[in-house]
Each structure stands twice: as structure tokens, then as C-alpha cells.
């Protein structure tokens, strides 16, 4: 059970989830203990030959938070403030826009937990396999409601929140993304510079 103890001393499991910009789940993987590190979990899934992970197409990437590694097809915010004043300002702008677009994660989980309050706290003492199935079923029902209940109050509320302050520019890397981390880091820097010098 110690493996399921998270950094807040609670019992939990990690869920790897991928969302689209319409607050829909496009991939959900459960079964990982709460003590697992996000970046390690993602790498293990990507290296698992039995895992069919929905990689973004060439020239696109997933926005992920700073707990992950900045690597091809997965774009993280910058860590730390270093470089010239212009470089620092470009990185800060990049991070603000990255966070603004990535808040879809919090909003999607918010809707999910409002619809299924049993996900808001410790789950009853079901077998782990049962807990996994409950989570997957809730995510499937979430997508069903998103597609077939257009006036759902929780989705409408979160759409209104998401519409505030959305950035009007987000660049994508145009080069094929199956390259090394050093090149990927350079792409991120170039995107930040593009945002900074074309914001006015």
C-alpha cells in the first residue's frame, strides 16, 4: 500500500490522461500507484510495446506541465529565469501562454469531478481493478455528455472560464518532431522568441 501513498501522505493512484481543446478525453490510462512520478509514468507507457499511445502528428505536440521532461512531441514550460532580459521576457511570455492553454486540464478534471463526486476524495475500498474500471467508466460518460448534452451546466460554466484571457498566438514547430531533446529545446526557445517579438 505504501506505493499508493502520494507526496501529501494520502492514498491515491496516478492517471495519465490526454485531452483535446474541447474538454474531451482522448486517452486515459489508470493503474499506476500514487507515488509514481509523472515523467517516469509517461516514459514507461511510451516504451511499453503493448501500449497504443495517441502521439500527436508531425509538427504538433502535447502541452505538458513542468513535472514532465521537455522532449519531442511533449512541450513543457521553461524552468528558471536565465539569459538576457529579452530572453527572460520571452520565456515568461511563453510560460504564461503555455499555462493559459494548459488550463484545459484543470477545467476538464473539474467537470469530471463535479459530475462524479466519488472522484473528489478517497474512493471506497474497492479492489484496484474495480477502481480502475470506475475511473474509465466516468471518463467515458464524461465524453458522452460532452458530445450529446451541449447545454450541460458544468461544461457551460467551464467554457465561460476558459474563454477569458485566451492568448491569440500559439506557434507550432514546423519541423518533424522525431528528433533529439537538444533540438526540441531549441524549437521551444524559437517559439518563445517568436511569441515575444510578434506580440505587438
How much is the pLDDT for 109?
92
pLDDT 10s digits, 34-93: 666 778 888 888 888 888 888 888 888 888 888 888 888 899 999 876 788 889 999 999
pLDDT band at 185 (very low <50, low <70, confident <90, very high): confident
113 or 8, greater pLDDT: 113
How much is the pLDDT for 24?
94
User: In angstroms, rounded to a whole number, what is the distance separating the alpha carbons of residues 158 and 144?
Assistant: 17
CB-count exposure of residue 23 (10 Å: 0-12, 13-18, 19+): buried
Q: Assess whether pLDDT exceeds 80 at residue 4.
A: no
**Domain chopping of the chain, boundaries:** 2-197
All three cell numbers of 4: 499508493
Torsion of CA 48, 53, 57, 60, to 10 degrees: -100
pLDDT 10s digits, 120-171: 877 777 888 888 999 999 999 999 999 999 899 999 998 887 655 444 334 4
User: In angstroms, rounded to a whole number, what is the distance separating the alpha carbons of residues 123 and 129?
Assistant: 13
Residue 43: C-alpha distances to residues 38, 40, 87, 154 (Å): 9, 5, 30, 33
All three cell numbers of 83: 539569459
Amino acid at each position: 500500500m505504501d506505493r499508493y501513498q502520494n507526496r501529501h501522505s494520502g492514498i491515491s493512484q496516478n492517471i495519465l490522461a490526454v485531452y483535446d481543446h474541447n474538454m474531451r478525453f482522448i486517452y486515459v490510462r489508470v493503474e499506476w500507484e500514487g507515488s509514481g512520478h509523472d515523467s517516469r509514468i509517461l516514459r514507461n507507457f511510451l516504451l511499453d510495446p503493448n501500449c497504443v499511445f495517441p502521439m500527436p502528428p508531425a509538427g504538433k505536440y502535447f502541452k505538458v506541465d513542468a513535472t514532465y521532461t521537455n522532449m519531442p512531441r511533449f512541450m513543457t514550460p521553461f524552468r528558471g529565469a536565465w539569459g538576457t532580459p529579452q530572453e527572460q521576457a520571452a520565456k515568461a511570455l511563453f510560460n504564461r501562454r503555455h499555462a493559459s492553454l494548459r488550463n484545459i486540464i484543470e477545467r476538464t478534471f473539474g467537470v469530471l469531478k463535479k459530475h462524479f463526486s466519488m472522484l473528489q476524495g478517497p474512493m471506497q475500498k474497492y479492489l484496484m481493478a474495480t477502481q480502475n474500471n470506475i475511473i474509465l467508466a466516468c471518463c467515458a460518460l464524461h465524453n458522452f455528455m460532452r458530445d450529446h448534452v451541449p447545454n450541460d451546466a458544468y461544461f457551460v460554466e467551464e467554457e465561460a472560464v476558459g474563454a477569458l484571457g485566451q492568448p491569440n498566438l500559439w506557434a507550432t514547430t514546423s519541423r518533424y518532431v522525431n528528433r533529439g531533446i537538444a533540438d526540441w529545446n531549441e524549437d521551444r526557445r524559437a517559439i518563445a522568441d517568436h511569441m515575444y517579438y510578434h506580440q505587438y
